[in-house]
Structure 1
Amino acid sequence: MNQGFVKAAAATPDIRVADVKYNTEKICEAIEAAAGEKAKIVVFPELCVTGYTCGDLFTQDVLLRDARAALLKIADFTADKDILAFVGVPLSVDGELYNVAAALNRGEILGLTTKTFLPNYAEFYEMRQFTPGPEKAREILFEGKRVPFGPQILFQASSMEELIVSAEICEDVWSPIPPSIQAAMEGATVIVNCSASDETIGKDRYRRELIAGQSARLIAGYVYANAGEGESTTDLVFGGHNLITENGAVLSEAKRFRNDIIYSEIDIYRLLGERRKNTTFKTSEDRKLIRVPFYIEREKTVLTRHFPKQPFVPANEEERARRCEEILTIQAMGLKKRIAHTHAKSAVVGISGGLDSTLALIVTARAFEMLGRDKKDITAVTMPCFGTTDRTYQNACKMAVQLGAELMEVRIADAVSVHFRDIGHDPGDHSVTYENSQARERTQVLMDIANERGGMVIGTGDMSELALGWATYNGDHMSMYGVNASVPKTLVRHLVKYAADVTPDEQLKAVLYDVLDTPVSPELLPPKDGNIAQKTEDLVGPYELHDFFLYYMVRFGYEPSKIFRLAEETFVGSYDKATILKWLEIFCRRFFSQQFKRSCLPDGPKVGTVALSPRGDWRMPSDACAAVWLNDLEQIALAD
């Protein structure tokens, strides 16, 4: 919980219809199991104390009395448990029968949330026995204590005030305006649902989309516990389809037709960060709902949920291919519009035989196809210099030819040498001046060729390089339209691979695969024995780490210590703690110090949820201080 993670459980216990004693024992066993797994919230199905399928037995006093006594017993069972439990129970109040989700914590009944929408269609006939809950919550006298009763009660953790839980019951979430909407608008960050949704063909998919969609609409966690085996099969079958979702993502899902408990950790701070950024999510200023405090211990949550090593890249191959096609189309459409708008006669792309320039050339070729333009109007310029290897040079040339562009070669070594002489730089001094002089010369060449041909220079730099400032200011940093500006390095590789996989041109395919096998390098230092001597990731760090850091820092606003924790667990076996900490510190330092390069970026299309355009997603002063972020990291080192 210290970093916002709250472990939740959705439990479907074995039950017997109308056997309250048996059901109570099974519910208590599940609470014990959930508490043993350090879950802070556990949710049970609708009316699970009696069973949902009791029918007219719900009118029998003996059943209702036993259910009421069972609720007290279950509440007492939680006395020494560090957990908030929601249990479905029928409850008679003022002569009316209500379908209720009881919130239990530390031996107390904290509140009784009523079901608002009672289904009375098809296989459902709840209005035969039950009364819809009141419009507003009020207090009732329950076993000598005043207890909140009604819809949308908010349960707020005293040890973590950001954790606010509200319940709804089954059909409530299927209604046009679920009660959870108002609860979220008044601050609820987790919605729980005690449900009894039967299984019919295709209903599981709709249910999954519904629960995930509701969590996305509310920017909340959603814990859904469904009735399962043990309910009457006179007419229906219940599958125990439990779900835990967070802002549209399914964190955990039970296998249907098997009673079980599922667990996952909901990231409350992530949800709050999303709400702060989303200006259309407005919390209600007119607070009407009852808030009830509950207590759970604040401690470090052991994580079981999965954080992908490459958050920008879908793990599923089919989804990855679909995403790649979509991104390439977005990039090409953006460039198509810019070329048409500027009436550019040509597009000029500097090609090095590396991943980024390869992707830029592929995108440019697509844009020309969309425009119906001859790809000979694309000028692919290779500019060999001191660090160029034969492998990258040959790949650049072959690629340009196979994509149908005009290949142009401009050797810049002499021009750079003259420049060294002009500024008094020793060519044997391979410092940043040595490197940047080459990068700026290449940009000058590209710009002048574009002027001469009435064209525009297409930028090749990617978002990972922009995050780290790994670009020469007014060198490769500059262009007239940057097609890769919001594509991270880990995704660039997959886009090039996708292009290679789908092209029918076997020669182009071979070249692209070889580019994929080539180490990432700016090739600004002389090669050693004909091989690349300057490998970017040896200098600035592994891009898979930096993209991981970038995603969680910019997308969700995580503090460095939280990013470190996730990285340590995600990359276990790949990088040790010291290595992750080293590169994360470098990432933080460079991200802040290099903002000035991002503040004057050329235009370029946004393709995903993370982008660094100073005109759109990321507006940051160039002289912002990194002290707070670095201090957060220092605490990790001090803890050792």
Structure 2
Amino acid sequence: MTSFNPSLGALGMLRLGVASPELRVADVAFNLERILAIAHEARGKGCRLLLLPELCLTGYTCGDLFFQPLLVEQARAALERIAEFTAREPLVLVVGAPVLQGDRLFNCAVLIAGGRIRGVVPKTFLPNTQEFYEQRWFAPAGEASADHLNWGGESIPFGADLLFQAERLPQCVVGIEICEDAWVANPPSGQLAVSGATVLLNLSASPELLGKQEYRRALVQAQSARCLAAYAYASAGPGESSTDLVFSGHSLIAEYGMVLAETDRFDFESQLALADVDLQRLGNERLKNNSFAESRPARSCRTLSFPLPDTPAQPLLRPIPAMPFVPPDDRERSGRCREIFALQTTGLAKRLRHTGAKQVVIGISGGLDSTLALLVTAKAFDKLGLARQGICAVTMPGFGTTARTRGNAERLAELLGVSLRVISIDPAVRQHFADIGHDEAVHDITYENSQARERTQILMDIANQVQGLVIGTGDLSELALGWCTYNGDHMSMYGVNSGVPKTLVRYLVSWCAEAEFSGEASAILRDICATPVSPELLPPDENGEIGQVTEDHIGPYLLHDFFLFHVVRLQYPPVKIFHFARQAFAGSYGDEEILHWLKNFYRRFFSQQFKRSCLPDGPKVGSVVLSPRGDWRMPSDASAALWLAQLEELETSR
């Protein structure tokens, strides 16, 4: 398996770079030298498309020196030198330079690849206020006299309507705008995106001001999200500073609203940031988004091809979080937990208001899921001003119940002030075994599921007694794997946890222990968080401890939640998920283990869809949803053969 090392292109990805090279205003030779040096460094790190700042060959702050023909001629000669560089090096460069067409000078971006200048894009919007005087020197794109340039006997496409498509990576379509273009009400990048651009580039020389860094980052993030695109922004560094202006060299790369990489600011040395952008993901997002598809470009674009070299994908230069549902930052995670808890409690409160129910029934086991459901229910009752005694918490000890989980469940119910019933299911299940002729010594699926269904029957019948609703406790991860008993814990009248993955449930309960509860209740919640996940349907071990650990049977929820996110949210193929998982879990799980549980995930995910096709209602809390009435529509009898075959091929290729 160690030989598995696909290229980025095979994964539908591109290694993109932004650079803020060291610069001297009006010193073209020096600037060219620094550009080639940073380009050489970027190429050595696997970068295949490098974006440089606005007017980086001359400097942005040249002022009336732009009227000097020598400066413009030297910039053009430098572009030829860069073209020669790309003939030798597997790298595409987008460079800022002043370009003369007829008797007008334009502030341009020049895309250079494979030894040739492939196209020149002039700036559309020229700022002419406060510290900016661009209209003094440059003409806007709309004043171009032709759609091409004649340089050295070659006709070079010229205009703001250019798109550049990679020859061997058709998902890579480059659209270019320049600095101010991004700050206007209707940026050109929006039209470029709906015309097909997946990689948006902005060459900038943006002077620094107090607070502008955050604003700039938010602008780039928002535009990448709005355009369902990667957005790279390369800005001039401190060497550009002159007279009253200071430049910081803040360059960054964002993808669909997430910043992947950015440079340090205020460093006179050349700065470089690289990231692997996921073009396949962007294509998937656009495919699902009919509003994006229905956005019509105001004008047609010319599409030009360019050669784009490939690069190995190991290691990936992008964050691959092992827990995609759980933010790594404590403050962000706390905020996320608060939001989810509010969604859950509000959803349940609405159901109670609508039905007029003042009583609910919930089965509690001392495990994570039922604990979270109980806490949500208690807070929903508080929100509606209902007495918590209307919550009938039922603990139903059976063959696998341990003293630890039962004790935690019962004591927590007492501390929360809810009604508590303790009903042993042993006699009823034994009677059922006798009725159907099942040997109690045979601990098979019948042995386990008979207990789950007996518990559900008790809950439903008590709900009829008290004229209340049964609150479901199952979580999103269990639904994905089908780890629930059909018409057992699978069924309820409102499933408050159905949108919450297992890896996040533990953090939610832990957050409740810190933020919503205190004292002994908080201590019990922390102990519940430390308890192994188990349905407790098999007898305890000789020490009275849990004898059935869920993850020993179906695999680590850490892996399964990772798989779930990438299968459902990102629509990745198995090979790509495997490659991402190798990086995310390096040092924790080996290749064989990841592959084993990934195959198990696909088998279970496909075979258990029938359980998801008839789910009770439950609140949508995130972007991964398996409700058949919402974001997920899948036939109950679809075959997993296509996906498993790719994994089998991967396994045999070792």
TM-score, structure 1 length as denominator?
Answer: 0.99
1:4 aligns with 2:12: yes
1:240 match: 249
Equivalent residue, structure 2, for 1:263: 274
1:117-196 superposed matches below 5 A: 117-134=125-142, 138-196=147-205
Letter in 1 for 2:230: G
Deviation at 1:345, TM superposition (A): 2.8
- Deviation digits for residues 332-369 of structure 1 (CA, Å, limit 9, x no counterpart): 00000101111113011100000000000000001000
1:276 alignment counterpart: 287
1:618 matched to 2:627:
no
Partner of 1:375: 388
- In the alignment, the residues of structure 1 paired with residue 195 and residue 448 of structure 2 have an alpha-carbon distance, to the nearest angstrom, of 56
**Hey, what does 1:579 align to over in structure 2?**
593
1:455-534 matches, cutoff 5 A: 455-529=468-542, 530-534=544-548
Q: Secondary structure at the match of 2:240?
A: coil
Question: What is the CA-CA distance between 1:297 and the residue it aligns to?
Answer: 2.7
Cross-structure match for 1:59? 67
Q: State the alpha-carbon separation in 2 of the partners of residues 539 and 135 from structure 1.
A: 69
User: Quick check: 329-338 or 502-511, which moved more?
Assistant: 502-511
Q: Match of 1:8, SS?
A: strand
- How much does 1:135 deviate? 7.1
| Separation (CA, whole Å) in 2 of partners of 1:484 and 1:338 | 14
Rounded Cα–Cα distance in structure 1 between residues aligned with 2:370 and 2:176? 53
Aligned AA (1:533): G
Letter in 1 for 2:324: P
Which deviates more, 76-85 or 593-602? 76-85
Tell me how far apart the structure 2 counterparts of residues 165 and 503 of structure 1 sit (CA, whole Å): 49
Q: CA deviation at 1:404?
A: 1.3
Are 1:152 and 1:167, in contact at CA under 8 Å, matched by a contact in 2? no
- Aligned amino acid, residue 514 of structure 2: D
Contact 1:152 1:182 in 2 (8 A): no
Task: State the partner residue of 2:307.
Answer: 295
The residue matched to 2:380 in structure 1 has which SS?
helix
For 2:550, which of 525, 533, 536 is the aligned residue?
Answer: 536
1:61-76 to structure 2, matched below 5 A, reads: 61-76=69-84
| In structure 2, distance between residues paired with 1:485 and 1:525 | 25
Asked if residue 606 in structure 1 is aligned to residue 620 in structure 2, the reply is yes
What are the residue-to-residue correspondences of 1:295-444 with 2, within 5 Å? 295-302=307-314, 303-444=316-457
Q: What is the CA-CA distance between 1:299 and the residue it aligns to?
A: 4.3
Structure 1 CA distance for aligned equivalents of residues 227 and 646 of structure 2 = 30
1:632 Cα deviation from its structure 2 partner: 1.3
Alignment of 1:207 with 2:179, yes or no, is no
Task: Deviation per CA, 1:286-306: give whole Å up to 9, x if none.
Answer: 871111101123343331211
CA 1:289/1:48 → structure 2, altered by over 3 Å: closer, same or farther?
same
The one-letter code matched in structure 2 to 1:542 is P
User: In the alignment, what sits opposite 2:47?
Assistant: 39
The DSSP-based 3-state class of the residue aligned with 1:628 is helix
How many Å apart are 1:502 and its aligned residue? 1.7
> How many positions carry a matched residue from both structures?
640
Q: Quote the Cα distance in structure 1 between the aligned partners of 2:207 and 2:297.
A: 38
What residue ranges of structure 1 are gaps of 5+ in the alignment?
none
Residues 383-424 of structure 1, C-alpha deviations (whole Å, 9 max, x = no match):
001000010000000111111110111111000000001111
Q: Residues of 2 paired with 1:315 and 1:286: CA distance?
A: 41
Is the aligned partner of 1:116 residue 2:124?
A: yes
User: For the residues of structure 1 that align with 2:161 and 2:33, how far apart are their CA atoms?
Assistant: 28
Give 1:277 deviation, angstroms.
Answer: 1.1
What letter matches 2:551 in structure 1?
A: E
1:141 match: secondary structure: strand
The answer to whether the 8 Å contact 2:125/2:140 transfers is yes
Alpha-carbon offset, residue 635 of structure 1? 2.0
Q: How much does 1:32 deviate?
A: 1.1
Q: Residue deviations 1:561-616, cap 9 Å, x none?
A: 10110101110110000000000000000000000000000000000111100000
Percentage of pairs with the same residue? 54
Q: Which residue of 1 aligns with 2:260?
A: 251
**2-structure distance, mates of 1:46, 1:65:** 17
Q: When the two structures are superposed, what TM-score results if normalisation uses the length of structure 2?
A: 0.97
CA contact 1:220–1:246 (8 Å) conserved in 2: yes
Secondary structure of 1:265's aligned partner: strand
Work out the CA distance in 2 between the residues paired with 1:21 and 1:340.
Answer: 74
Counterpart in 1 of 2:109?
101
Residue 574 (structure 2) aligned to one of 545, 560, 573: 560
1:195 touches 1:224 (CA, 8 Å); kept in 2?
A: yes
Hey, what's the Cα distance between the residues in 2 that align with 1:324 and 1:36? 42
Counterpart Cα distance in 2 of 1:448 and 1:300? 60
CA contact (8 A) 1:9 1:41 kept: yes
Following TM superposition, where does structure 1 have runs of at least 4 consecutive aligned residues deviating by more than 2 angstroms? 134-137, 283-287, 297-302
Asked if 1:631 corresponds to 2:642, the answer is no
Answer whether contact 1:348 1:379 (CA < 8 A) is retained: yes
- Cα distance in 2 between the residues matched to 1:436 and 1:355: 20
Distance 1:33 1:152, change over 3 A: farther
Q: Which residue number corresponds to residue 231 of structure 1? A: 240
Aligned equivalents of 1:301 and 1:100: distance in 2?
32
One-letter identity of the residue aligned with 1:456: L
SS at match of 2:141: coil
**What do residues 143-179 of structure 1 show as CA deviations (whole Å, max 9, x unaligned)?**
2111111103111011011110111100000011111
**Given residue 197 of structure 1, which amino acid in structure 2 is its aligned partner?**
S
C-alpha spacing 1:135/1:583, structure 2 compared with 1 (3 Å):
farther
Equivalents in 2 of 1:356, 1:504: separation in Å? 17
**Is the 1:356–1:484 Cα contact (8 Å) retained in structure 2?**
yes
Amino acid at match of 2:386: R
What code does the residue aligned with 1:374 have? A
1:77 to 74, 81, 85: 85
In the TM superposition, residue 631 of structure 1 has moved relative to its aligned partner by 1.0
Q: Is the 8 A contact 2:470 2:492 kept in 1?
A: yes
Counterpart residue type for residue 248 of structure 1: G
The AA in structure 2 aligned to 1:279 is N
Residue 545 of structure 1 corresponds to 559
Q: What are the ranges of 5 or more consecutive residues in structure 2 without an aligned counterpart?
A: 1-8
Indicate if the aligned counterparts of 1:2 and 1:300 stay in contact, CA closer than 8 A: no
Report deviation, 1:548.
Answer: 0.2
Deviation at 1:275, TM superposition (A): 0.7
User: Does structure 1 retain, via aligned residues, the 8 Å contact 2:161–2:300?
Assistant: no
Q: 1:421 to 1:504 in 2, by over 3 A?
A: closer
Q: CA RMSD in A?
A: 1.2
What's 2:4 paired with?
A: none
SS for the counterpart of 1:280 is helix
